[in-house]
Amino acid sequence: MARKRWRGAFAGLAAAVVLGGAGAVSALTAADAATYPNPGRVTGDTGAHDPTVVRAPDGRYILAATGNNLSLKTSTDRVAWRNAGAVWPGGAPWTTPYTNGGRNLWAPDISYHNGQYYLYYSASTFGSQRSAIFLATSPTAASGSWTNQGLIIESSNAVNYNAIDPNLVVDQSGQWWLSFGSFWSGLKMIRLDAGTGRRSTSDTAVRAIASRPNAGGAIEAPVIHRRGGYYYLWVSFDRCCQGASSTYRVMAGRSTSVTGPYTDRNGTPLTSGGGTEVLAGHDAIHGPGHQAVLTDGGGDVLFYHYYADNGASYLGINLIAYDAAGWPYVY
């Protein structure tokens, strides 16, 4: 009953948030979210893994996700989704040295800047540190319209990180940064050239932003989202990709600087294993994670994948609100 009461308390406010922004529920606190909501309603082609979403200038939503040659979906209302083909319908042979010849590319990050779409994505195999992040650009984001812009960063056993799960963030001054990482020594950040989207040649530092040294390194999928005076670092803890046995959960920290240090609600640095839980498995929703955050209609929206009881992965969408102390929760 607690879950039904909690969902019901927000039912009349959801439309107001979409139209009027997260402030519509500012009086409610994260304590109200102790019982997590189910995903919002989605229909159509809703199978997805590692989703990332951008809103096009014409109002359409474009989703990219892990899959053979990277899968694309579109929606006009953020509810009904349809298949829109693959980023690389003819294949991406430049990635095969990292995928053992396979076509399954991972964890894209899509955004729109300067009149074109930018897509950072990963090539690797499960459990391997031989990984790479590439960039593609397109004027339309349509299947087959993408241009390979080449390698951004790669990893091997010669370094202490894994180059997968990229996310682009543009800071308040207009500087571009790419966060990435999975297990090993944790999540990292590099500086990009805002003119090309490629790695900076003047600042080549690899900065540490989060890790879990006492939990087997089980942290990945960084997403940095700026809201107000803070940069929020969203991450996934624990284990993905095990169907209904997955233990993924969505965590967050924040900083006043894009490069950190990021801390959780209790002040624990994310580089020391900190993180404030925002969403975890419940009922028939298993392992929600690999999140993306989009500001839309005045409020923020969380996209993620979760596993059903049968082990299939699906698109999850919830709205985000912030409590009086500025910490996010979903409803």
**Mind listing the pLDDT tens digit for each residue in 144-160?**
999 999 999 999 999 99
Confidence of residue 135 (pLDDT cuts 50, 70, 90): very high
Q: pTM of the entire structure?
A: 0.90
**Mind listing the pLDDT tens digit for each residue in 257-275?**
999 999 999 999 999 999 9
Q: 203: annotated binding-site residue? A: no
Q: 10: annotated binding-site residue? A: no
Confidence of residue 34 (pLDDT cuts 50, 70, 90): low
Residue 305 has pLDDT above 60, yes or no: yes
Give pLDDT, residue 2: 32
Q: Nearest CA to 49 among 296, 236, 190, 216?
A: 236
Q: 162: annotated binding-site residue? A: yes
Q: Work out the average pLDDT over 315-331.
A: 98
- Side chain identity, residue 152: I
The answer to whether the CB of 122 falls within 8 A of the CB of 115 is no
Residue 294 has pLDDT above 50, yes or no: yes
**Mind listing the pLDDT tens digit for each residue in 96-124?**
999 999 999 999 999 999 999 999 999 99
What whole-number percentage of the chain has pLDDT above 90? 89
Instruction: Compare 286 and 1 and report the one with higher pLDDT.
Output: 286
Domains of the chain: 2-330 (2.115.10.20)
**Mind listing the pLDDT tens digit for each residue in 200-230?**
999 999 999 999 999 999 999 999 999 999 9
Q: Work out the average pLDDT over 63-80.
A: 98
Q: 127: annotated binding-site residue? A: yes
Residue 32 has pLDDT above 50, yes or no: no
220: annotated active-site residue: yes
> Which one from 220, 238, 264, 300 is the annotated catalytic residue?
220
**Mind listing the pLDDT tens digit for each residue in 152-196?**
999 999 999 999 999 999 999 999 999 999 999 999 999 999 999
Give pLDDT, residue 7: 32
154: annotated active-site residue: no
Give pLDDT, residue 161: 98
Q: 110: annotated binding-site residue? A: no
Q: Work out the average pLDDT over 226-244.
A: 97
Q: 165: annotated binding-site residue? A: yes
Q: Work out the average pLDDT over 41-58.
A: 98
Sheet-wide strand order for 80-86: 43-44, 80-86, 71-75, 61-65, 52-55
Mean pLDDT estimate for the chain: 91
